[in-house]
Amino acid sequence: MGACRTRARATLRTWQQAGRMHRSVLGTVVAVVLSACSDPATDVPASPPPDAERDGGHRPDATTASRDAATASPDAADAGSAAPEPCPAASTFRYACDGARRVRCVDGFLQKETCTFGCIEPAAGTDAACSCGTNLGFTRWNCTSGDLHACPGAAMYATRSCGGRGCDVAAAGVDDTCTPQASTLATVLAKLGPECGAFSPGTTCGIVVRDLTANVSASWRGDAPYVSASSVKAMWVAAALYDRTIADVSPFADAIFRSSDNSASGKVIDLLASPARVNSFMWNDAALASSGFCRWNYEKARNASNCPSRMGGDNFFTASDAVSFLARVHDRSLLGKDRTQALVGWMLLSPRSGYGGWLGTQIPAAARATLRHKAGWLPPSAVPGYSNSNDIGLVDAANGHTYAVALLMSGGTSYDAKQLPVMEYASCVVFRAVSGEADAFAGCTHP
């Protein structure tokens, strides 16, 4: 426990000195992180917290109780520039058109994105968007010119850079993908992915890992859509932070991340101009072209007028989108310094292990203590017809690398005895792989 506390204190001190932790959450986070270095069995409840996951937000007819990706690739000259351009006096946090590109001010410097088909002037209180032009029908990621492009909602153009590796064309109706990187991490996921169904019969999983320090990514079914459950609440909070102030969002954050409270989550959505704004944020501002929000009907109806029908009215995302979101949170390019500090501080309030803390259960105590994540769960015992568990987060590996990971699981014959333990096992394997262990699977337990 002493070593864990020493490492956790050092990590928090580094974050504070580097300006990565907002002062409004620092005191609470220190207490939570240090307490996580105690007996992990006492960290979290053994069963879902009250009002954690019920069917109101997921069933189409319910009315009661549920950058590797970027909107457009930065200008090549800008990306290679040693000196970022300071913001002009008239620039703001929101995107505005500047000729054939859109620009915004983030932490005092100009963020610029080229729009291939031109820039769409924004309405008051919204962001400029890149036009889809002749690619209006790109409802999925499409491989063109070596990168992926999509036009979610037939309203705005999104680009996912493939880092010069090129992309692979899939069958019609399926997302094209970036050509995978050859890496040890990819080899590990190629073995780990099929184990989901082997150790939890009937379960499929989507896994994406990005080592943010080494800039290495690997994927297993990364572009397959999954019901997002409550993991997506981190994105809803980010949307509210993008549009509003930290002070506006703060009253609801503790309940959302500590106990996945559905009522508080609805109130965060209510901070936005409309439920449809969740989608425009994900598509236009965060470049999550394979994610969709349809409804959140706790205490009142919240139905998005731009709901994608991809999963029959359920809210959904992909592991690739989740990791792209986490990467842009980590590098502050999405929310800027202060809003990012607030969000990652709140993500530290989520359970460290056990139910709702699956990423942390089998990783070392020091890494568990600084885990920034949000889990989601739809157990068939509480939500008939569903069998989903997700956990997305930022993890500090044993070798000092930080990685973003999304573990999404669906289906199976035994939720508590098989699916959930497999998620804990998968997190352990990923941690050891990123940490550079010779055998990533050694010491990780599965059902």
Where is mean pLDDT largest: 80-84, 85-89, 186-190?
Answer: 186-190
Reply yes or no on whether the pLDDT at 184 is more than 90: yes
Question: Span 20-37, mean pLDDT?
Answer: 58
Question: What pLDDT score does 334 carry?
Answer: 98
CB-based contacts of 444: which residues, under 8 Å, 6+ apart?
Answer: 362, 425, 428, 429, 432
Question: What pLDDT score does 173 carry?
Answer: 87
First to last CA, the chain: 27
Reply yes or no on whether the pLDDT at 56 is more than 60: no
CA–CA distance, 219 with 180 (Å, rounded to integer): 8
Q: pTM for the complete prediction?
A: 0.86
Contact, 137 vs 155, CB < 8 A? no
Question: What pLDDT score does 402 carry?
Answer: 98
Tell me, what amino acid is at 408? L
Question: What pLDDT score does 51 carry?
Answer: 33
Tell me, what amino acid is at 291? S
CB-based contacts of 4: which residues, under 8 Å, 6+ apart?
Answer: 37, 364, 365, 366, 369
Sign of CA pseudo-dihedral 90, 93, 97, 103:
positive
What whole-number percentage of the chain has pLDDT above 90? Answer: 78
Complete domains list, the chain, with CATH: 2-68+182-434 (3.40.710.10), 69-161 (no CATH)
Reply yes or no on whether the pLDDT at 295 is more than 70: yes
Cα three-residue angle 340-348-292, rounded to 5 degrees: 60
Stretch among 2-16, 140-154, 257-271, 279-293 having the lowest mean pLDDT: 2-16
The mean of the pLDDT values for the chain is 87
Closest to 350 (Cα-Cα) out of 95, 25, 19, 58: 25
- pLDDT tier at 11, thresholds 50, 70, 90: low
Reply yes or no on whether the pLDDT at 45 is more than 60: no
Contact, 68 vs 319, CB < 8 A? no
Question: What pLDDT score does 72 carry?
Answer: 37
Q: Tell me: the pLDDT tens digits for 143-181?
A: 999 999 999 998 899 999 999 999 999 998 899 999 999
Q: Which residue has the higher pLDDT, 24 or 436?
A: 436
Kindly report each contact of residues 104-113 with a partner whose C-beta sits within 8 Å and lies 24 or more positions away, as own/partner. Answer: 106/332, 106/333, 106/336, 107/332, 107/336, 107/337, 109/84, 109/85, 110/84, 110/85, 110/86, 111/74, 111/333, 112/74, 112/75, 112/78, 112/85, 113/70, 113/71, 113/72, 113/73, 113/74, 113/75
- pLDDT tier at 84, thresholds 50, 70, 90: confident
Q: Tell me: the pLDDT tens digits for 315-347?
A: 999 999 999 999 999 999 999 999 999 999 999
Reply yes or no on whether the pLDDT at 83 is more than 70: yes
- pLDDT tier at 21, thresholds 50, 70, 90: low
Question: What pLDDT score does 125 carry?
Answer: 86
Reply yes or no on whether the pLDDT at 33 is more than 70: no
Question: What pLDDT score does 36 carry?
Answer: 59
Stretch among 71-85, 222-236, 365-379 having the lowest mean pLDDT: 71-85
CA–CA distance, 281 with 285 (Å, rounded to integer): 5
Stretch among 60-64, 156-160, 282-286 having the lowest mean pLDDT: 60-64
Sign of CA pseudo-dihedral 101, 102, 106, 109:
positive
Maximum Cα–Cα distance across the chain = 60
* CA dist list (Å): 122 to 72, 119, 129, 156, 400: 16, 9, 7, 11, 42
Question: Span 125-129, mean pLDDT?
Answer: 93
